[in-house]
Amino acid sequence: MALFNTLFGKKKKEFTAACQITKEPIEKNFGYLLTTAQVVTSKKYWDMIMTEPETLSYTVSHFKNQSSGTQMRTMIFEKYATIAKAWIVSDSIINYFDVDKTTARENAKKWWASEGAFAPENIGPASQTLEENEFTNLKKYAILEAGRSRMAH
CA distance 51 to 56: 5
Domains of the chain: total: 1
Q: Distances from the Cα of 106 to the Cαs of 102, 120, 131, 150, 153, in angstroms?
A: 6, 10, 26, 34, 43
Structural domain contains residue 82: yes
Structural domain contains residue 8: no
Structural domain contains residue 125: yes
Going by pLDDT thresholds of 50, 70 and 90, the confidence category of residue 7 is: low
Q: Considering the entire predicted model, what is its pTM?
A: 0.87
Structural domain contains residue 11: no
Structural domain contains residue 91: yes
Structural domain contains residue 100: yes
For the stretch 12-47, pLDDT in tens is 678 999 999 999 999 999 999 999 999 999 999 999
Instruction: Give the residue numbers spanning the domain of 68.
Output: 18-150
Going by pLDDT thresholds of 50, 70 and 90, the confidence category of residue 153 is: low
Structural domain contains residue 116: yes
Residues forming beta bridges with residue 26, ordered by sequence position: 17
For the stretch 110-151, pLDDT in tens is 999 999 999 999 999 999 999 999 999 999 999 999 999 888
